Amino acid sequence: MAFAGTFYDGAGFPVLTDGTTVTVNLDVPLQRDEPRAAARVVTGERCGDMNNDGVLVVGAGIAGLALTLALRQREVAVDLVERAPGADGGLAVNLPGNAVSALIALGVGDQLKQIGRPVGRREYRSATGRLLFGIDEEAFWGPSARSRCVMRSELHTVLAAGLGVEPRAATVQSVKVADGGAEVEFTDGDTGRYGFVVGADGVRSAVRGALFGTAGAKEAVLSAASWRFMAPNPGVDCWVAWSGGAGSVLLLPVDDEQVYVYASATRGGPVGADPSWLGTTFQDYPAPVQAVLRHALDRPETLYHSPVEEIRLPSWTAGRCALIGDAAHATAPIWAEGAALAVEDALVLADELAAGDWDTAGQRYERRRRDRVDHVQAHTDKFSRAAGAPIWLRDLLLPVLGPRSYRAAYGPLRKPGR
C-alpha cells in the first residue's frame, strides 16, 4: 500500500483523504508521518519490564504525554506505550485559557510561549460576513492564561521533551482488572501486569472497550464529521468563524503566515467526504474563506476529513484502571476543550496516584473531575440545540446571547480544574 497522503484523524487513526481507515502494512519503508512497526518500548524507570507494580499509560497523545510527565515529576514509576509514535498529531489545536493554565501547572508554560500564536480576540460572523459578536479573549482569560493556537506536533514535542526519554511503539489490545493491578494484552501477543493502567488512547480507546464495552459512544450532534486543513493566512488576525445554514468555517492564525481551517456542519447536516462539499457549502462566503478554499481545493491531498464522535460514560474507572482525555469523555470541539480537559485530568490523576492507595485513586480522580467535564458537555449540548434554530433567528439573537453563552461556558473554567 502506498502511504502518500496518509495522516491521522482526531482519534489518532491513519486515514486517507477519502475518509477511509487504512491498514498499516509493516513491510513498507516508513516516512516521517507514518506509523512505526509495533515493536514494544516503554519509557520510564522500568523500561522493557512488562510485569511491574508501576503505572502503564496507554497512548501518547496530549493526555498520555501530560500524565506521563506529571507522574515522572511526582516520581511515580510509569511506562508509556503508543501504537504510532512520531505521528504528527494532526494539524493545529486551539488552546483556550484553561488549557494554557493547565499546561503552565504541568511546568511547560515557558516552552508553550515559544510555539504557535496567542488568540487575542474571537469574532462570530454570519455567512455574509456581518459581525454578530466579538469577544476580547485576552481580557477574559487575563495575561497569564492567554488563549493560544499551536501546531499539535509542536505541542507533542514540548510534552515529550519533558519526559527525557524517547517514546516507542506498542499497541494494547485489551486490559483486565486483576487483584492489586491490571493485566494487559498487546497486539503482538505479549502480555504484561501493572500496578495501575490508564487508558489515554483516544476516542476509540481499546482500554475503554475492554473495560466498559461499546456503550457511551455516539456521533456529535452539531456536526458528525469535519474538514481541517492549513492554508496561507488570507489576512485574518484573530479567531474568526463564519456560519450559515449548512456550514460553519473557522479560521485561526497559528503563526504569522498560516491559518488553521476547521469546516463543519452548522445544524447537524451532512459533511460530505468529497472535498467538493467545501466548495459547494461555502461558495458564497466572504473573501478570506474563498481564498483558503481555493488553496485547499487545489491540494486535496492536504485535507483531513474525519468523524467527530463523543463519549459519555457513567464511570471512567474500574479497579486499578482509569480512562483520561478523549478515551473518557471525547466531546465535540465546539468549545475546544479537549486538550484542556486532557491535561487537567492528567494533573489530577497524577496527584491521586502520587498520594497512594491505588485501589481508590481512580474513584478519587473521577470525583474531582466529573463536575468540570459535565459542565463542558452540558454547554456543548446547549450550543448544539441552539444551533438548530432558523438562521435568521439565530443571527438576530446571537449579538445578545452569544457573549452570554461564551461567559457561561468558559467563566467557571477560569478556576483551576483540580
Ligand X SMILES: Cc1cc2nc3c(=O)[nH]c(=O)nc-3n(C[C@H](O)[C@H](O)[C@H](O)COP(=O)(O)OP(=O)(O)OC[C@H]3O[C@@H](n4cnc5c(N)ncnc54)[C@H](O)[C@@H]3O)c2cc1C
Which residues in this chain contact ligand X in the complex, by CB under 6 A? Answer: 10-12, 58-64, 81-84, 93-94, 99, 171-172, 200-202, 206, 226, 228, 306, 308, 325-327, 333, 336-340, 342
Say whether 279 sits in a helix, a strand or coil: helix
Angle between helices 338-355 and 62-73 (to 10 degrees): 30
Nearer to ligand X, 127 or 220 (CB): 220
Q: How far is the CB of 108 from ligand X (least distance, A)?
A: 15
Neighbours of 336 (CB within 10 A): 21
Nearer to ligand X, 341 or 395 (CB): 341
CA distance linking residue 306 with residue 294, whole number of Å = 20
CA distance linking residue 223 with residue 269, whole number of Å = 7
Nearer to ligand X, 181 or 307 (CB): 307
CA distance linking residue 308 with residue 305, whole number of Å = 10
Q: How far is the CB of 337 from ligand X (least distance, A)?
A: 6
Nearer to ligand X, 293 or 413 (CB): 413
Q: How far is the CB of 393 from ligand X (least distance, A)?
A: 27
Nearest to 337 by CA among 374, 385, 367, 384: 374
Q: How far is the CB of 396 from ligand X (least distance, A)?
A: 28
| CA R_g for the chain | 21
Angle between helices 358-386 and 338-355 (to 10 degrees): 160
Nearer to ligand X, 267 or 329 (CB): 329
- In terms of Cβ atoms closer than 10 Å to its own Cβ (0-12, 13-18, 19+), residue 124 is buried
- In terms of Cβ atoms closer than 10 Å to its own Cβ (0-12, 13-18, 19+), residue 189 is exposed
Q: How far is the CB of 234 from ligand X (least distance, A)?
A: 20
Q: How far is the CB of 90 from ligand X (least distance, A)?
A: 8
Nearer to ligand X, 12 or 253 (CB): 12
Q: Which set of grid coordinates corresponds to residue 29?
A: 519503508
Which residue bears the cell 461564551?
Answer: 406
**Degrees (nearest 5) of the Cα angle 140, 141, 147?**
115
Nearer to ligand X, 265 or 395 (CB): 265
Nearer to ligand X, 329 or 395 (CB): 329
Q: How far is the CB of 382 from ligand X (least distance, A)?
A: 18
Q: How far is the CB of 397 from ligand X (least distance, A)?
A: 25
Whether the CB-CB separation of 119 and 146 falls below 8 Å is answered with yes
